[in-house]
Amino acid sequence: MSTYMARSQDVQRTWYVIDAAGLPLGRVATAAATILRGKHKPTYTPHVDTGDYVIIVNAADVVLTGRKLDQKIYFHHSGYFGGLKRTVYRQLMKKKPTFAVEKAIRGMLPHNRLGRAMFRKLKVYPNAEHPHSAQQPQVWEVKI
């Protein structure tokens, strides 16, 4: 018996849509990262991108539990001396709610070229409309 290794040309990709309205950010991110990596499939291979496409709608309505809206801070550095920028997640969710969701998911993917290829299959929208209805996405229920 030999271990099955998927090949990139044999991967069948499907589209899934996740409705993030009222769900915790971490639960949505872990569900999306699992689908993007392909760990929900029996043909999962760690060194091959076997994942599917993920559409996340209602990203502006995602919930952060506890006091994370006021205590969790997003850091960004401009590259110059004293260029450390801080943004509280309450402001980040008002300005760019899709970025907060994308950042949470990106941190759960591999930090190499394979992870970047997986991240390109993620589409995040702040409201319920998305332009991917032609792909006939299946609804993915996030377990709380």
pLDDT 10s digits, 49-97? 999 999 999 999 999 999 999 999 999 999 999 999 999 999 999 999 9
Q: Which domains does the chain have, with CATH numbers?
A: 14-65+97-139 (3.90.1180.10)
Mean pLDDT for the stretch of residues 132-143: 96
Whether pLDDT at 144 is above 90: no
Evaluate whether 126 touches 98 at the Cβ level (below 8 Å). Answer: yes
Rounded CA-CA distance 29/56 in Å is 10
CA neighbor of 101 nearest in space, from 21, 27, 16, 25: 25
Rounded CA-CA distance 36/59 in Å is 17
Q: Could you tell me the pTM of the whole model?
A: 0.93
Percent of the chain with pLDDT over 90: 96
SS3 68: helix
Whether pLDDT at 1 is above 90: no
As a three-state string, the secondary structure of 127-138 is: CCCCCCHHHCCE
DSSP secondary structure, 13-65, as one string: P-EEEEE-TTSBHHHHHHHHHHHHHTTTSTT--TTS----EEEEE-GGG-B--
Mean pLDDT for the stretch of residues 134-143: 96
